[in-house]
Chain A
């Protein structure tokens, strides 16, 4: 690794000021993506601003819904008893990221800000219709996570902005969810396709009150399959309808072919896994 300056501000104002004052600055959270990028010389920061010295941005709060500090580790999310109780699918998705060593360092905010289309936290949080809180020298603002991602490794954040919190709407707690990640291995994998589904359906009738489907690794950024959702919202969840929605979800993707998988396979996986995921939730509804 090349040499760089290291700053550890004690509050958000100082962090934002440092971000503006230094050349080629990078924010350091868990470092599990950033340090590797530095080692492979994909990025060459002149200055690292470590956010771990800022108090109050690394915890899980519950106040009419979850408010998760951006510096909360993925492991803390995985093992939080309250998250396991109220939105277990978030804990399950967290448990698929990297290894325990990585999850002990990686943060929810870092995973989002890295902007990888395959980020595990991105797909599941996108399906939860989360909002994110962004601090800047002009105060804080809140925006939908869907507007946060721009393209591969690119988010809306400007040079004077820091992601500080993820807000999960309380309504999500009545939904059931699945997170399906497809990769060659059962652990330590970057998903070839990641599927997050949250569904609020009537147990008996199978009527879909609302469904949210997010897809990872199949477009330049994590996306919501809104056409597929529209086909099911307010309708009965029968096999034909599910099949049609799954096909629609596949049509909403724009995957690449690379050494990990072909675009066509990725589309097929979206179709099959969206259908599989919805069926899985329906089955658990009926048992």
Chain B
């Protein structure tokens, strides 16, 4: 039961042709098959947002998406944020604002922020909170994460 399926996906502009078992989650595929360990597993039930990646321009919690479901998709993980030597402005804003403590929620936070700013380049504080509501952080109390998003907006202008 459950023979492997072939999927073709593009991850961080790199094309992959893979054989996967249906019970392989996108998270495990990224972390263990593709070695993209920047995507984190915090709860494995879609509740914490640490495994957030962007699939076809939309953020999803990759722990509750099956790899077979994303056949043909274009995916961005944290490793795909930086182009060239300089950090992406969102990454830079997270560093500068003190929005990173233990760093376990950070990749998911940054990818959700990316999707937010792609959709709303000049978000209100309510927009920010509504978009980031599914990314839990235990360290920061979120104050500096909101600062980081606002700083990223300025850097992107």
Contact = CB atoms under 8 A, between A and B. Distances in A.
A36 interface: yes
A50 interface: yes
B23 A1 contact: yes
A4 B25 CA distance: 13
Interface string A50-93: 10100000000000000000000001000000000000000000
Interface in B112-138: 112, 115, 129-131, 133-135
A4 B2 contact: yes
B1 A31 contact: no
Contacts, number: 89
Contacts of B5: 6
Given A32-B64, A95-B130, A187-B134, A3 B22 contact: yes
Interface residues of B, number: 31
Interface in B1-19: 1-3, 5
B105 interface: no
Contacts of A43: none
A188 to B, nearest CB: 6
B77 interface: no
Contact of B133 (A4, A35, A187): A187
A260 interface: no
B22 A102 contact: no
A35 B59 contact: no
B51 to A, nearest CB: 9
A5 B134 contact: no
A188 B23 contact: no
B64 A100 contact: no
Contacts of A188: 47, 133-134
Interface string A11-30: 00000000000000000100
Contacts of B79: none
A98 interface: yes
Nearest to B62: A101
Interface string B22-49: 1101000000000000000000111101
B1 A104 contact: no
Contacts of A170: none
B59 A101 contact: yes
A188 B130 CA distance: 11
A101 B49 contact: yes
B64 A99 contact: no
A105 B134 CA distance: 13
A39 interface: yes
Interface string A94-120: 010011111011000000000000000
B66 A101 contact: no
Contacts of B2: 3-6
B61 interface: yes
B1 A102 contact: no
A8 B133 CA distance: 32
Interface in A130-165: none
Contacts of B3: 5
B1 A3 contact: yes
B130 A35 contact: no
Contacts of B60: 101, 104-105
A39 B27 CA distance: 14
B76 to A, nearest CB: 14
B59 A6 contact: no
Contacts of B68: 6, 8, 50
B131 A100 contact: yes
A286 B12 CA distance: 53
26 contacts: A2-B23, A3-B2, A3-B21, A4-B1, A4-B23, A5-B1, A6-B2, A6-B68, A31-B64, A32-B46, A32-B64, A35-B64, A39-B45, A46-B1, A75-B58, A98-B134, A99-B134, A99-B135, A100-B133, A100-B134, A101-B46, A101-B49, A101-B60, A101-B61, A104-B59, A104-B60
Interface of B: 1-3, 5, 21-23, 25, 44-47, 49, 52, 58-61, 64-66, 68-69, 112, 115, 129-131, 133-135
7 nearest A-B residue pairs (beta carbon): A99-B134, A6-B22, A187-B133, A3-B2, A1-B23, A104-B58, A101-B61
